[in-house]
Amino acid sequence: MTDSPEKPARKPRKTADKEAPAPAQPLRRRILRWTGRIAGGIAAFYLLLILLFSFLPPPINFYQLGETFRLGGIEKDWVPFEEIAPVMARSAVAAEDANYCLHWGFDMKAIREAMAEGSNRGASTISQQTVKNVFLWHGRSWLRKAMEAALTPVVETLWSKRRILEVYLNVAEFGEGVFGVQAAAQHHFGVDARDLTPTQAARLAAVLPDPQNRSASNPSNFVRSRTRSIMSGAETIAADGRAACFSE
């Protein structure tokens, strides 16, 4: 019997290589990823609020909430722009932001002048103040200023100038715990915002931006002098077209 040829020895099967575990993601990359997600979420939240408040009255802001707890209550009453005396709108613009219709949220000329003087007084526009009052908090922190700078162009893009001024006049403080031009007109003069006279409107504008230390109904010599200046300014911007972006 002939010997059968020897079969070649079977090679041992290779065990499947186990996949090497992925290297741990660097901590810095994780932090950046989560920071991006949080920033994106905050941006989306503020964009939603801006869109909602382009046609809905803002309910309350951080400052008003704080004053409510401090004072035990505040006076606040929203009225549409059509129920505010036109002279009140012109007076507020003349007092706080005479170039309101000419800028896109930041008055660069006023900012340069304020920087040259070493202060930021007079550089904050009505648009910036509206953003601060509605969406942010009061104070001088860099975070708030950065958020204000980021949100102001968005509001200017999505809201009309008329809407920005309408919201501003309804949330601005015109006396301690007195918010909005309707509540202020009632509180100081016993009239509705639609019935304010040029002098009354200028008096209300004259207490800005220090309503807790100035009074529209019991004006100091400073407020009386400022009132006359505002009345003149309101007439000027009506005549030269700088009120065109919010006037009917």
Digit-coded pLDDT (tens) for 42-81:
999 999 999 999 999 999 999 999 999 999 999 999 999 9
Superfamily of domain 32-240 in the CATH hierarchy: Biosynthetic peptidoglycan transglycosylase-like (1.10.3810.10)
Angle at 222 between CA 116 and CA 227, to 5 degrees: 90
pLDDT category, 24, cuts 50, 70, 90? low
* Separation of alpha carbons 100 and 92, rounded Å: 10
User: pTM of this prediction?
Assistant: 0.85
Q: CA 196 → CA 69, 71, 163, distances in Å? A: 30, 27, 20
**Residue 235 has what pLDDT?**
97
In this structure, is the dihedral angle defined by the CA atoms of residues 185, 190, 194 and 196, taken in order, positive or negative?
Answer: negative
**Residue 102 has what pLDDT?**
94
Q: Beta partners for 76?
A: 179
Give me the residue spans of the domains in the chain: 32-240
pLDDT surpasses 70 at 238: yes
Would you state the structure tokens that stand for residue 215, as one six-digit string?
């009074």
Residue type, 248: E
* Separation of alpha carbons 105 and 13, rounded Å: 74
Averaged pLDDT score across all residues of the chain:
89
Of residues 155, 150, 112, 106, the one with CA closest to residue 130: 155
Parallel/antiparallel/unpaired status of strands 178-179 and 173-175: antiparallel
pLDDT surpasses 80 at 123: no
**Residue 22 has what pLDDT?**
52
Contacts of residue 90, Cβ cutoff 8 Å, sequence gap at least 6: 201, 234, 237, 238, 243, 247
pLDDT category, 29, cuts 50, 70, 90? confident
* Separation of alpha carbons 233 and 228, rounded Å: 9
**Residue 204 has what pLDDT?**
98
Of residues 124, 217, 219, 204, the one with CA closest to residue 172: 204
Contact 132, 148 (CB under 8 A): yes
What's the whole-number mean pLDDT along residues 158-176?
Answer: 97
What's the whole-number mean pLDDT along residues 116-125?
Answer: 69
Contacts of residue 244, Cβ cutoff 8 Å, sequence gap at least 6: 101
pLDDT surpasses 80 at 103: yes
